[in-house]
Structure 1
Amino acid sequence: MRDFPILRSSVARRWWPVLAAVAGLFASVLSAAIPDAARADPRFRLGYLVVTHYPGVRSDGTGDATAGLQQAIDDAYAANLVCFLPLGTYVISDTLKCVQWHPLRADGVSLEPNPLKTAAYQFVGEHGSGGARPLIRLVPTAATAARFADSARPRPMLLLRLYESTRYPNPARTEPVDVMATIDGWLNDTSYLFDCRLSNVDFDCGGQAGAIGVVWPAAQGAYVESVRVDARGAHAGFYGLPGRNSGAINLEVVGGEYGIRHGYGAAQAPNREVCAGVTIVGARLIGQTRRAIDYLDFVPLVLIGFAIEKDFGATGATTQPPISVVESTNTSNNTLVLLDGSITLRNAVVGQVAIANPGNTTTAGKTLYLRNLYVTGTTRLVQATGGNGVSTADPARWHRIDEYAYADPRGSTGAFPAGTSFRSFATRSVLDGAVRSAVEPVARLSVDVGPPPTDLISRHLPSGGFPAYEGAASPPAAVVTEAPYGAVAGDNVDAATAARNTAALQAAIDAAAADPRLAGRVFLPKGVFLINNSLTLRANTRFFGAGKTNLSVLGAHASWLPSTTPGVLLQTVDDPRATTYVGNLDLQVPDRNLYEYPFTYLHWRAGAASMTFDLRAVCGLWLTRPRFDPVRTAPFVCCRFDGAGGGRHYFFGNFEQQFTSSATPVNGAGYRSIVIDRTSQPLWFYGFNNEGGKTDRRATDVELLGARHVVMLGLKREGGAPMLTLRDCRDVALLGGGAMREPPAERTGDPAAAYVEITGICSRITVAGLLVQQVGEGAGGYTVRETASDGAALAFPLGAALFQRGSFDWDAEVPGRVPPANTGGGDGGRLVNVAARVRVRAEEGPTIVGFVVAGTGQRTVLVRAVGPGLAALGVGDGVPDPAVRLYRGQTSVADNEDWGGAGGTASAAIFAAAGAFGLPAGSRDAALVATLGAGDYSAHATVRPGTGGSLVIEVFDLQGDASARLTNLSLLGRSGGAVDFPIVGFVLAGTGGRTVLARAVGPSLAAFGVADAVADPALRLFLGGRSLDGNDTWGMGAEVPDLVTATAAAGAFALPVGSRDAALAGALAPGAYTVHLLGGSGRVLAEIYAP
């Protein structure tokens, strides 16, 4: 949406069908000039207007195609068609313009309907074999040469613009000769430039010093895809890209002063073309003389998968770093998130910087997050004012920035008053529950790692590109309007036709899935195709259209009236190996249905290798005033991921359903735009803009429930509820978010609500570059809030430079690939020490720690019960005089009360040999040494009557036969609540990993006669002080099959289905681990199995 309020009258809503009809009539009049040859081209009925049918448009690199291409662009927009360039070379002498005007109504305040809501510019090149694309080359004439000669006043080859009137009567629509200049009475408005598409076309700037390849600053739904610009001798490749966390895929710029400039406007147009965040996936920026990236905007730029090369010895090269974060007093402005990239510097002077963060040059820089970046050619990888940056010794080798974060400390730490549009607010980091103010909370570097992986860029791109059908020259597809399918397009067909369409489309899907020649490809040409039941996509289906924005539309017919269960427009099979693809489509349902007759647009259960791209979910083939029944609030979900759902989803989130008037809230609290429910396949979102909820009652926009392996790159939202809620999730990363607008308390009623809520037991979570930057509204609440016993929150407006709960394993999280199984730990490691810390009272009886010696030989163990000795560790309430007795079954094996007394078997030397902390001579702690054969053992620790306090029970494996080893630990202890909970610890030794099962059993103890158990225990696993994992309810997450397998392998008793016990299983490397048992008061059984 736009960045400032616009009045929208309810009258306009009622008249919208009429306005749309008038617009359609106007479009048909404009398109009357389409050449007959273009209409006769078979591609026309598919949705393509072929430019070579226009006078002067040649594809052989001769002549001047400017006028003909411009007419084709205008006609394609007016007729809502794709402007299609066949393969070849096209010569132009001046700028091609995609321009629309947005006038004011007669009231002089509100705007007419946005012309880019019902149609969009779609400029697309033919997909040739081997990745061939059409090329547009700039060859100025004598009349136009001066326009492209001045780099201080640059001019593009292709320009996208929406001019919005600023006064009434509306000024004349006069385009300036200087296309980058301002127009009196008109604002260059990027915030309403929806859905415009530039795809599969290359540009050659012809060496013109003032030339820019493409100016395409736009709003959500717009994108640039597979475009190469030869900018050698020119100003820039791109000068503005789509925002709102739409963006660009597969870009390349060779040469130029700049690769990508964004947000500057131009010298002759002082208004900056900010677009509220750009996500770029796959970019090669080679040989720029100034900067590869030059970014101004108020939402972070997120750049994923890139290669940058700069030769400082080239003609015209400056000493500017290829990337430099631009200073701004507005905290969220100009910030960067960079993931999976390489930077090569050649002929750099000593001390040359690769990535600069100068900030104010004296005390502080801007917020920045870097992950997995390879750099060569310099020793100064990152310069950061106020911090150390990242440096190394050898410029000739490749070095990898594993992870680096910078938190801008400047600005307010308190709330802003309402009406403050741009703000300076401090950023902080939260690492495993502790709020940090350090400017560089993380800086990890690996030196001399060798060159970058060959798939550093390609891992984020679709293999072979996105599917397309452009006629007979394309790979074959099942075209749903052709025989034998015969689907009928039309937005007013009857119910019988909708039923036939449903059968026809499903038949096309099934036939294409079974035909190796079609390889699953199904094409929807231009038109509205109404259905009355769900379509099921097969594992290999590629279901796509000519384009979205009312071009290729799949819609629900008005006769489809689901009631208790939402109707599902598109659903996939539940298959982790599925390669399903959906793209270039509108998904539409009638808006009057959604509250009485709910719909889900997309139900996704295809696995890691699946994809979606360029989808728009809209409500409004039949526009009526929304109605809300405050009693009937049955929840429905616009888009659902569950089962084997995974894959790569590009510029997703055009599911912004808000469907409401300003007066009457709609949708119940249970409504969600998107739900991700217990998925475990890698699920990557590149650009995620979820809007809506400004005037409804949803509790959150997007909800992740027990999900694993989810990555969202580039986030934006508008609405009055939390943007994202994570419940009991693991392995989730959210990078780069801003412009979140309305406070989350607005619709929830919770003054402490957060933009990102992390609830239950979540682990291995990373959030970076979350900078809210509201516009014009005061707010309280939190930027990010973790509601766990040891959680922490950042009060709004503090920015989140980095939030981490545990360590997200980026090495295992490769998009499109199934992650390694969580329970395949191998058998290299072994338990050498188990321990438990609890608070005890004498009247509760003994505290019991069980352990198992497995194998055929014997092991010598040290068993300790420590109370007084805890004082040396800072624990002042240790029990004064514990005793310990060791049992095998019901038989007492050994006992001790004072470790240093007569007859004792322990000694300080044995403690040291075991790696145990020392105990003061003469202390009243208990310890014993025993040699044990295979079997089940328990250590019973008791305290003197009337005493209590903290107690640690430990078992150390000292020596013995290699065929015997410790295999598990159990503790039946008491939890006192949030700050008084048991902790168990264990040490894995050796050179390999081992699968470990950890459990916190509460409710299931009732079957064993324990009446006062913790009702809902949780556990959290730590390595040293670093949180690794956690669980609240064992049956909630996607890892249930892993847990069942691990439980059987360990020989542990099964937990009842649906119980509130907690468990987790995984392969652990050697190290010292602890498990915190959380969740309330009562008895709890802690178990650690390492079979």
Structure 2
Amino acid sequence: MSPGVAGNCSSSSKGRSINPMFLVFVPLGLGLAVVASQSEDWLRYDNATLETWGFVNVCLPPFGADPTGARDSTEAIQRAVNYARERQLVCLFPPGEYLVSDTIVCEQYRPLRTPTRRVGDRNHPCVLMGMEIEGRRPCLVLSPGSKGFDNAEHPKPVIYFWAAGNGEEMPLDQPQPNISMNQMIVGIDLRLGKNPGAIGISHRAAQGSGIQDCVIDARGAYCGVEGGAGSGGSHAGITVIGGRYGLDLRGTQPAATVVGVTLIGQEESAIICSGRQATTIVGFRVVSSSANPVIVARQNWIHQGQLNLLDGSVEIEGPSAGCLLDTTAAAYFRNVYVKGSATIVRSLAGKLEAPAEGWCLVEEAAVAVPPDPWRGKQLAAIGVRELRYTCDIWIDGIRWPNSIWAKICPSKEPPADLVRRHLWDRNFPRPWSPGVVNVKLLEPAPRGDGVTDDSDPLQKAIDRYPRLFLPKGQYLVTRPLRLRPDTNLIGTHRCFSWLVASAREDGEFGDAANPRPVLQTANDPKATTILGFFGIQLDVSAAGAYALDWAAGPRSVFRDVNIVMPTRWQLRPGIPSPNFDHPLVLVRDHGGGKWYNFHQESWHFQGPNYRHLLVKSARGPLHFYQCNVEHSRSEANMEVRDSTHVFFYGVKGEYNRPIARFVGCRNFALFGYGGNAAAFPGTSLFELEDCEDYRLTLLVDTPRLPGQGSPDHFAGEGVDPRLWFMVQERYADKKIQTPPLDRPTLFARGSLRSPSEHD
């Protein structure tokens, strides 16, 4: 893609316009017998048909958005968004240009439970998805001079995702981003035009939320993206061209993650960041000609603004030798190529200079910038007026004496795939992709009614077809579904298409002593398994079930799959309380690939051996792009044991048990942690035992003090931060603990091979 072109935002390709017949209802007939999808078939279906699969087409009645760009579609799109949200449907945008002149508001549906409290529903999100057909994509075009988009001092988004306050943490009429969940925009471009106060997409959110596969032309506008998704959500596959800023990450959820981002030609800075705890940006390309710092990070409160920069390139054009990162918070670099910057880091801890002209490579660097002393009335709970946190650098069990530790050398040009290596394939299957088979059109067809046992028809479909679409519904299964090495299973959305495991007398999910997976992949290093956009739910009866047994190799992808455990509120008369004393998700043997937005926060019915995630004897490489494991009452939320080449990019946690335990592992990394977890006195949040060649970076938290929460609260109770440790390691008969108030910038041992070397 040329730096001067923001993708294909027109309704034509190679001089050919969209045929109007594809935007008009064509009566359905024998064409439904052809089960393998062709992309343009989806443009022929009316909304009555699409709704049964979980979609509505914004161009069709009763909405009537105009994909030719001839008339304003703002009201039509807003009607479609509201309609889809309330009925748990995806808003589908065919290719074309959609003229808009005001904000499209995407408010999560959370109705009032009482006059002062909202219900905790997270399954009615706003979901916007674009169809790409032969290179043609949907693009929202903001009319020049649109009202309210002219003031850069008060910028306004074109698309605004939010959730209203629940009445406890935030007032009912104020945004509460930690409950903005499962809200997504995928595959839709924007062109902002000459609107100096315009923001492309504002999306600060949590579990299951994100911006994916979007190109934003922000030339003449304020910025491309405002807000970061963390806590089990992330942004991925974003390109921003122009604008005052590319990414405005001054407001994020904890441990926000941005994957595969390209930022070109911003007027001031490509990124501004003061997010909650560590923000991780992995797989990036920045081209800048501004004299300002390319990235600005600010620690406005304790444990804000920390930044991981991994696998990226920054090229500063023009005569002035600029600064890459200007920060008042801790930062970590790995495998970052730099050109045209005399100063790589400018911080309160000192400067990090480039060694020579031309390209240089920051192989690895840690810059430890501690926060100011924390003072506040809250500290009366522990009888002090002030706490002083540190953020030390630890190398092979020894505290580094300086604030900066770096390995920088002259380099050739960066590899061309720094961005793409962290993303799914460009031809990632969608329901309308060629060759994808709709299971509801097969014979026999699964019912998806939550009552009928769909195990047999689903298994037959898996055995026969490699690429399957699982429409909206609840597909009850009573035995494991075994996947082919090349199975691609795609749903409508993580909250709309469900596999539900239930224990019945003739099924296989009732024996807790012999747990069985709902989905089992092939144990194959060459597997190309893809799971995306659906959910796996365990019924309270399924005490002998777990969600996933994953042994598919490094070419496989897990993308936005929702995994849900039963709760005590779901107990029915006659069903005993189950005891899950086994992992919910198991990755083993050849298990590898790329996982996006994995989160699990259940806390009922768990024995000591339960794990939200267990990676055991896995060879990888295995990449987790945002991993939110929390609230478990077992011995640890997740465990990685006897495995190699496992990498986490952004981890968030709550409660008092260890977030992660690593035992007998080598060549692994956890880049960036955030959350309000507070370990029980004398224990730690991260445990290491007999591990080699690893990195843990930017481990920071929001303090949770005594009196906050309770043992029965899902997030546990607060603990005096002077009584617990962030990291505890057992290595060669030695026990190493970081000091209680240390939030390490880097905790490292040995020599980590870059994740990119294994892909």
Q: Distance in 2 between the 1:47 and 1:711 partners? A: 34
Rate the CA distance shift 1:719–1:407 in 2: closer, same or farther, 3 A: same
Is 2:389 the counterpart of 1:425?
A: yes
How has the CA–CA distance of structure 1 residues 418 and 406 changed in structure 2, closer, same or farther, with 3 Å as cutoff?
farther
Change (3 A) 1:71 1:790: same
Distance 1:590 1:431, change over 3 A: same
Report the residue type matching 1:797 in the other structure: L
Summarize the Cα distance change of 1:76–1:767 in structure 2 as closer, same or farther, 3 Å threshold.
Answer: same
**Change beyond 3 A, Cα 1:542–1:658:** same
Corresponding position of 1:402: 363
Structure 1 residues 804 and 59, CA, compared in 2 at 3 Å: closer, same or farther?
A: same
AA aligned opposite 2:279:
L
1:689 aligns with 2:638: no
Q: 1:526 to 1:283 in 2, by over 3 A?
A: same
* 1:438 Cα deviation after fit: 1.9
The counterpart of 2:176, out of the listed 189, 203, 209, is: 189
| Aligned ranges 1:26-65 → 2 under 5 Å | 40=47, 42-54=49-61, 55-65=63-73
| Residue 751 of structure 2: aligned partner | 807
- Which residue number in structure 2 is paired with residue 576 of structure 1? 525
- Of the candidates 691, 700, 712, which is equivalent to residue 648 of structure 2? 712
Matched, 1:528 2:529: no
Q: Which amino acid aligns with 2:728?
A: R
Question: How many Å separate the matches in 1 of 2:285 and 2:665?
Answer: 33
The answer as to 2:701 corresponding to 1:752 is no
Counterparts of 1:283 and 1:771 in 2: how far apart (Å)?
24
Verify: 1:336 aligned to 2:343, yes or no: no
Contact 1:485-1:504 at 8 Å conserved across structures = yes
Alpha carbons of structure 1 residues 124 and 421: separation in structure 2 relative to 1, 3 Å: farther
For 1:465 and 1:718, the matched residues in 2 are separated by: 36
Alignment correspondent of 1:516: none
| Structure 2, unaligned runs of 5 or more | 1-43, 706-717
Kindly provide the CA deviation profile for residues 769-827 of structure 1, in whole angstroms up to 9, marking residues without a partner as x: 1112333433322101102224421133310111111111117643xx3xxxxxxxxxx
Aligned residue number for residue 606 of structure 1? 552
Q: 1:716 and 1:627 mapped to 2: Cα distance? A: 36
Match of 1:795 among 739, 745, 749: 739
- Give the secondary structure class of the aligned counterpart of 1:187: coil
Quote how far apart the aligned CAs of 1:102 are. Answer: 4.9
Q: Secondary structure at the match of 2:83?
A: helix
Q: 1:56 to 1:579 in 2, by over 3 A?
A: closer
Task: Give the aligned partner of residue 326 of structure 1.
Answer: 298
RMSD: 2.8
Aligned counterpart in structure 2 of residue 487 of structure 1, from 446, 449, 453: 446
Q: 1:778 corresponds to which residue?
A: 719
- Read off the aligned partner of 1:477 and give its amino acid letter: V
Q: Aligned partner of 1:773: which letter?
A: T
Structure with the larger RCO, 1 or 2 (CA within 8 Å, 6+ apart)? 2
Q: Distance in 2 between matches of 1:378 and 1:392?
A: 10
Partners of 1:705 and 1:399 lie apart in 2 by: 36
Partners in 1 of 2:263 and 2:592 — Cα distance?
Answer: 30
- The DSSP-based 3-state class of the residue aligned with 1:68 is helix
Corresponding residue pairs, total: 693
CA distance in 2, matches of 1:424, 1:146: 48
Task: Report the Cα distance in structure 2 between the residues aligned to 1:421 and 1:192, rounded to whole angstroms.
Answer: 32
Shift of 1:239: 1.1
Task: Call closer, same or farther: CA 1:509–1:793 in 2, change over 3 Å.
Answer: same
Q: Secondary structure at the match of 1:722?
A: coil
Q: Does the residue aligned with 1:507 lie in a helix, a strand or coil?
A: helix
**Distance of 2:738 and 2:572 partners within structure 1:** 37
- Residue 17 of structure 1 aligns with which residue? none
Instruction: Please name the residue that 2:409 is paired with.
Output: 446
**Is 2:274–2:300's contact at 8 Å kept on the other side of the alignment?**
no
The answer to whether the Cα contact below 8 Å between 2:365 and 2:407 also exists between their aligned partners in 1 is yes
Matches within 5 A, 1:374-413: 374-394=337-357, 397-410=358-371
Match for residue 587 of structure 1?
Answer: 536
Q: Aligned in 2, Cα 1:633/1:279: closer, same or farther, shift over 3 Å?
A: same
Deviations 1:851-890 (A, max 9, x none): xxxxxxxxxxxxxxxxxxxxxxxxxxxxxxxxxxxxxxxx
- Bigger Rg, which one: 1
Q: What do the CA deviations read for 1:348-381 (whole angstroms, capped 9, x no partner)?
A: 425x212222x3xxxxxx2100011111113222
Equivalent of residue 728 in structure 1, options 642, 657, 664: 664
* Offset of residue 340 of structure 1: 0.7
Residue among 485, 489, 504 paired with 2:457: 504
Trace 1:962-1001 onto structure 2 (pairs within 5 A): none
Counterpart-to-counterpart distance in 2, 1:651 and 1:802: 24
User: AA paired with 1:482?
Assistant: L
SS of aligned partner of 1:444: strand
| Contact 2:259 2:283 (8 Å CA) reproduced | yes
Partners of 2:264 and 2:516 in 1: how far apart? Answer: 49
Q: Residue 244 of structure 1 contacts residue 276 of structure 1 at CA under 8 Å; is this kept in 2?
A: yes
1:967-1046 equivalent positions in 2, closer than 5 A: none
Task: Tell me the SS of whatever aligns to 1:714.
Answer: strand
* TM superposition shift of 1:135: 0.5
Q: Distance in 2 between matches of 1:699 and 1:487?
A: 39
- Tell me how far apart the structure 1 counterparts of residues 591 and 223 of structure 2 sit (CA, whole Å): 40
User: Does structure 2 retain, via aligned residues, the 8 Å contact 1:104–1:166?
Assistant: no
**Relative to structure 1, is the Cα distance of residues 633 and 234 closer, same or farther in structure 2, using a 3 angstrom cutoff?**
closer
* Separation of aligned partners in 1, 2:109 and 2:570: 27
Offset, 1:634: 6.7
Is the Cα–Cα contact under 8 Å of residues 245 and 279 in structure 1 kept in the other structure?
no
Q: In structure 1, how many angstroms separate the alpha carbons of the residues matched to 2:119 and 2:207?
A: 17
Superposed CA deviations along residues 714-773 of structure 1, whole A, max 9, x for unmatched, are 01011221011111111111101111x23232xxxxx322111001x2100111111123
Structure 2 partner of 1:475 = 434
Which residue is 2:30 aligned to? none
Equivalent residues of 2:108, 2:180 under 8 A apart: no
Q: Which residue of 2 aligns with 1:284?
A: 262
**Partner residue of 1:112 out of 114, 118, 124:** 118
Of 592, 610, 618, 1:671 maps to 610
Relative distance call for 1:465 and 1:382 in structure 2 (3 A) is farther
For the 8 Å contact 2:527–2:552, the answer to whether it is kept is: yes
Relative to structure 1, the CA distance from residue 285 to residue 346 in structure 2 (aligned partners, 3 Å threshold; closer, same or farther) is same
* 8 Å Cα contact 1:738-1:770 kept in structure 2: yes
Task: Describe the shift of the 1:67–1:194 C-alpha distance in structure 2 as closer, same or farther (beyond 3 A).
Answer: same
- Equivalent position SS for 2:747: strand
SS at match of 1:77: helix
Deviation at 1:211, TM superposition (A): 0.8
Q: Deviations over 1:649-686 (max 9, x none)?
A: 1112x232213xxxxxx422111111111111211111
Change (3 A) 1:692 1:329: closer
After superposition, residues 73-472 of structure 1 pair within 5 angstroms as 73-100=81-108, 102=110, 105-106=113-114, 108=116, 111-115=117-121, 117-130=122-135, 132-139=136-143, 145-164=146-165, 166=167, 186-263=173-250, 273-312=251-290, 319-330=291-302, 332-350=303-321, 352-357=322-327, 359=328, 366-394=329-357, 397-410=358-371, 418=381, 425-440=389-404, 442-447=405-410, 449-470=411-432
Distance of aligned partners of 1:418 and 1:735 in 2 relative to their CA distance in 1, 3 Å threshold: farther
Structure 1: state its 5+ residue gaps: 1-36, 169-182, 264-272, 313-318, 360-365, 513-519, 660-665, 746-750, 818-1091
Q: Distance in 1 between matches of 2:385 and 2:279?
A: 20
Matched position secondary structure for 1:52: coil
Q: Is the 8 A contact 1:138 1:206 kept in 2?
A: yes
> Quick one: which amino acid aligns to residue 503 of structure 1?
D
Q: Is the 8 A contact 1:638 1:673 kept in 2?
A: yes
8 Å CA contact retained: 2:144, 2:194? no
Q: How far apart are the structure 2 equivalents of 1:422 and 1:196?
A: 39
Aligned amino acid, residue 192 of structure 1 = I
Q: 2:678 aligns with which of 743, 750, 763?
A: 743
Corresponding residue for residue 701 of structure 1: 637
Alignment of 1:844-859 (within 5 A): none
Tell me how far 1:566 sits from its aligned partner. Answer: 1.2
Structure 1 distance, partners of 2:503, 2:223, is 50
Is the Cα contact below 8 Å between 1:572 and 1:604 reproduced in 2?
Answer: yes
**Which of residues 685, 696, 700 is equivalent to 1:767?**
696
